[in-house]
Structure 1
Amino acid sequence: MEENAIQNPNKIFEIQRILEDEDLVAVHSRIQLQHNDTELAVMHILKFLQNKIIELWDFGQPVPKDIINENGMF
């Protein structure tokens, strides 16, 4: 993540929601790496043990310009 922050110093990262279930936390975010880049919908899932992250999964997809779902991705 530090390397990505160096490569994209003007990144826009907006947390939309955070969900917690015991030792698991999910973070749903909106990300734009560069000013005119496509927005991305990203989910990070973290597993904690004694207040430390021991596992991390993430996945994302570009936000389409035309969204059929009336609620959008966020």
Structure 2
Amino acid sequence: MIGANAGRLRSERRISQSELARTLEVNRSHINQFEAGKQNVSIDYLVKIADGLDVSVVEFFSGLGGASPRRIVEKEE
């Protein structure tokens, strides 16, 4: 869900995965896998993505309510 939120935010800003990847100096496939929920990322990586999108890290967690991290992972599976 966090990756999906990041993808939504990226799309709203009309930034392609390739553009974001260039900004972050990572491979586009990393962005794709993260948004698809196939790759877990560190908080450092989330901060880097948030900076690239010019949003707060908190926005990635919007809509998750009070769910514990374990419940979020279970939802993604």
Same fold (TM over 0.5): no
Relative contact order higher in (CA < 8 Å, ≥ 6 apart): 2
Mark the structure with the bigger radius of gyration: 1
Structure showing the higher helix proportion among its residues: 2
TM-score, scaled relative to structure 1: 0.24
